[in-house]
Amino acid sequence: MTMIKDVLVHADATEGGRSRLRYAFDLAAKHQARLSAVHVIPPVDVPPLYRPSALGRVEQAFERRNIYDAKASEELYRKEAAVHSAESRWKTLSGGVAEHLSEEARHADLVIVGQYESEGSAERHPS
């Protein structure tokens, strides 16, 4: 039998993120594993759709949205953690999503990430 001791899940505030969290908690509980939920706040990348005079305001709006998303993701995690028995921890990181998840994955036996979701604008879905 394969032993899973550490599960890592990429957390976000989308409906897909909620499903991933539930699945990860259930899987961790089934295997008596520790769950690590990670949300990464990506760097702000303003697409070239805006006038130069608006860039500062747009960048601030994107930063606020990223912080809101991080808080909403953590709230989802807290709600799921309250009803699941698996040992778990939360981590919020800032920077490149792929780089941070890859680094965190080095310490996990299983990594759960979602597929690209077409909901919302392209800025909300970093590569």
Mean pLDDT of the chain: 89
Output the domain CATH number for residue 59: 3.40.50.620
Distance CA 1, CA 32 (A): 14
| pLDDT at residue 117, rounded to an integer | 63
Distance CA 107, CA 96 (A): 18
Does residue 53 lie within any of the structural domains?
yes
pTM of full prediction above 0.75: yes
Does residue 51 lie within any of the structural domains?
yes
Alpha carbons within 13 A on the beta-carbon side of 85: 4
Does residue 16 lie within any of the structural domains?
yes
Does residue 107 lie within any of the structural domains?
yes
User: Which are the contacts of 95, defined by CB distance < 8 A and separation ≥ 6?
Assistant: 40, 41, 42, 43
Q: Which domain covers residue 109, as residue numbers?
A: 6-124
Does residue 1 lie within any of the structural domains?
no
Does residue 58 lie within any of the structural domains?
yes
The residues facing 89 across adjacent strands are: 36
Structure confidence by residue, pLDDT tens digits, 15-56? 999 999 999 999 999 999 999 999 999 998 887 888 888 888
- Domain total of the chain: 1
Does residue 69 lie within any of the structural domains?
yes
| pLDDT at residue 46, rounded to an integer | 81
Reference 79, options 126, 25, 29; nearest CA is 25
Distance CA 83, CA 86 (A): 9
